[in-house]
Chain A
Amino acid sequence: MSLRAGDQLGEPTRAGDSPERLALSRQERRQLRHQLGWVEQTLAGVTEAIERAVFTEEHARSPGWLQGLDPRVKLGMFVVTVLAASLSHSLLALLLLYGALLLAARASLLPFDFFVRRVWLGIPFFAGIVILPSIFFTSGGPRLFELVIGPLHLGPTPASLLGAAVFVMRVGDAVSLAVLLILTTRWADLLKSLQVLRVPQIFILLLSMTYRYIFLFLHTVNGFFEARKSRTVGLTSGSEQRTWIVAALVTLMNRSFQMSNEVYAAMCARGFTGTIRTYSDYRLRTGDVLAFLGTALLAIGLFFLGRVIV
C-alpha cells in the first residue's frame, strides 16, 4: 500500500513516548534553544536595531527646527561643529557646546530623556576605558591620592582628571552631534546630502541599496530560524547545527546573488546604462544660510574660547 500525504499524522504515539521521555524532550528543547539562541538572538537584535533606526525617522518627520533645514546645510553644520569640538581643549567650551546642542534638540522637538540617554548610556563606559590609564598613570604634580601596587605608585592629579573630563566631554559632544543629525534627518536625505562632500554618486547609491536590502535579508534570515525552530523537536549535535548554519548562509548568499541580478535587470529595464543620476529638490533658503552662519560663528567662538580659557 502506498503512503499518502497526511498518513503519518494518523500514527499512534509510540510506547516510548512516556511522560518522562516527553519531559526529557522539553529539557532537550531548552538546551537546544540555549545552543542556537545566541545566533538567533543576535540576528533578532540586529533586526530590531535596524527597525528601531527606521522607527526613529518619526523624529525626522516631526516639524522641528533642524528638520526644517536643508540636509546639506545640516551636514555642513555638523562637520563644522565636530571640528570645533575636536580642536577645543576647554571643558567650559565643550560644556557650552553641549548646552547649545540640548537647546537645538529641544527646538527640534526631540524628547529630552531619549536624546540624553542615547548619548550618555554608553559613552562614560567606552570613553572611560580608553582614558582610565591616563588618569592614574601620572607623573609630576600633586596627586589627589596614591595607590601603591607593588613597585607602582598610581594616582590621579587635577590635570589628569581635567584631561579625562575634556576627553569624555569631547566624545559626548561629537556623539550628540551625530545623534542630532541622524535623528532629525531622513536617511535618504542624509545620503543625498553626502554629494556636498563630493562623495561619488555610485557610492551613495550603493549605500542606499545596502540600507534598503539589508532589512529584507535580515527578515529572510529570521524566517530561516523560525522555520527551523518550528520543525525541531529533539536535540541536535553541534556539528548538525554548524552544518545548518552554513547551509543557511549558502542559501542566503544564493538568494542575494539572484536578487542582485534581478535588481540590476530592473535598473536596466528603466534605462540604466551605468551613469548614476539622482533627483534632489533641495533649495537653500534664508533660514538655512543663517543657521549655517550661526553655527560657523559658534564653532569659531568655541575654538577661540578654548585658547583663552582652559
Chain B
Amino acid sequence: MSVMQVSALQPGQVIYQLRGVRYRYHGRHLALDGIDLEISHGEQIALLGANGSGKSTLLKLLDGLLAPEEGYMRALGRDIKAVAAGQETFTFHRQVGLVFQDPDVQLFSATVFDDVAFGPLQLGLPREEVKRRSQEALELMEITHLADRAPFELSGGEKKRAAIASVLSLQPEVILLDEPTASLDPRTKWVLVNLIRRLGEQGKTIVTATHELEIVPLIARRVLVLGEERRILADGQPEEILRDRALLVRANLIHPQLHRSWLLTLESETEPQAPSDAPASSF
C-alpha cells in the first residue's frame, strides 16, 4: 500500500530518549514519575498499564502535545519542550501520529472524508495528493463507503477505524495508538490487530497503549509495563512479561480470581499463536 512511504529514519536509530521524566496535571495530579525510556525506530511496543497508570499521558508526551514537568526528553532529534511550545510542531507532526482513545475527539469534521483529509490539508499538500492519501487511508481501513457520512452516524468500531484512517493519511513514521481495540467487537479488533502488524512489518515505529493482554503478543515485540505508581515497572519481551504473574498482578493488569483460566492457559502454552495474514473479511 503506497500509504506507507519509505522511511526517512534508519531502523534501530534511537528516536525517543526520556530520562527521569515526570508529569503532573495542573501541577497537582501526578500522571508520570521518573520515566526512563529509549525507543528505537522500527520497534513495535505495547504499553501496558491499568486505568490511570499514565499510558495516555505518556503517549501525549511522545506526540509532543505535552512537555515533561521535570526530566530530559528528546523526540526525533528535537527537544520535546520546544515542540510542545509550538516550535517545529509542523514538521514533528508530519512524522508522528497519535490515535486518541476516544474517537469522538478525533472526528471533529462534518464528514469522515473531511476528517481523514484534515491532516494532509494542514501539511499544505496539493489537492490531488490530499485526495489520494485520504482515499488510500479509507481503503486501508475498509471504510471507503463511509466517506460521506457524518461521524455521529457511525458505530463505535467504524469511528475507531475512521480515527485511525485520519492519522494514516498523514503517513507518519511513528504511530501512537491509545487503546485502539477497547470496546470493539472481535472482528473489528482482529482487523486492527492485523493492521498494526502490517504497519510494523513495513518498518513503522508503533507504540500501542492497552490493557488487553491477549493482543499483546500479536502486536508487539517489546512490552513496557506502567505501574499504578506511574513508573515503568518492567521492560521486556512479550513472552517474558506475560508469564510474570506477580508483575501483572502488581500492575493491576490481572486479578488472581478473575483471570484464573487465562493464567492456566498461559502456563500451558509455550509460544503465543501468531495470526495468519489472511484478510479480516475472510475471518
B151: chain A residues at CB < 8 Å are 212
B60 touches A270 (CB 8 A): no
A188 touches B114 (CB 8 A): yes
- Residue of chain A at shortest CB distance from B170: A270
A186: chain B residues at CB < 8 Å are 148
B80: chain A residues at CB < 8 Å are none
A54: chain B residues at CB < 8 Å are 150, 152-153
B109 touches A271 (CB 8 A): no
- Residue of chain B at shortest CB distance from A277: B121
SS of A interface (majority): helix
B110: chain A residues at CB < 8 Å are 187-188, 191, 208, 211-212
A273 touches B89 (CB 8 A): yes
Distance of A274 Cα from B114 Cα, bound (Å) = 17
Chain B residues proximal to chain A, CB less than 8 Å? 60, 63, 65, 86, 89-90, 93-94, 97-98, 100, 102, 104-111, 113-114, 117-119, 121-124, 127, 130-131, 134, 148, 150-153, 166-167, 170
Taking the complex as formed, is A246 at the interface, i.e. its CB lies under 8 A from any CB of chain B?
A: no
- Residue of chain B at shortest CB distance from A269: B98
Categorize the interface residue count of chain A. 20 to 34
B93 touches A212 (CB 8 A): no
Taking the complex as formed, is A248 at the interface, i.e. its CB lies under 8 A from any CB of chain B?
A: no
Find A262's partner among B93, B102, B111, B118 (CB 8 Å cutoff). B102
Distance of A277 Cα from B118 Cα, bound (Å) = 8
B108 touches A209 (CB 8 A): yes
Find B94's partner among A213, A216, A271 (CB 8 Å cutoff). A271
Taking the complex as formed, is A247 at the interface, i.e. its CB lies under 8 A from any CB of chain B?
A: no
Distance of A265 Cα from B114 Cα, bound (Å) = 17
A268 touches B153 (CB 8 A): no
A208 touches B109 (CB 8 A): yes
Taking the complex as formed, is A159 at the interface, i.e. its CB lies under 8 A from any CB of chain B?
A: no
B148 touches A278 (CB 8 A): no
Interface string of A268-308 (1 = CB under 8 A from B): 11111101011101000000000000000000000000000
The 14 sampled A-B contact pairs (Cβ below 8 Å) are A54-B153, A186-B148, A188-B109, A188-B150, A259-B105, A262-B102, A269-B65, A270-B122, A272-B122, A273-B122, A277-B121, A278-B121, A279-B131, A281-B131
Find A271's partner among B86, B93, B114 (CB 8 Å cutoff). B93
Taking the complex as formed, is A202 at the interface, i.e. its CB lies under 8 A from any CB of chain B?
A: no
Interface string of A236-277 (1 = CB under 8 A from B): 000000000000000000000001001101111111110101
In this complex, the member of A259, A262, A269, A275 whose beta carbon has the largest number of chain B beta carbons within 10 angstroms is A269
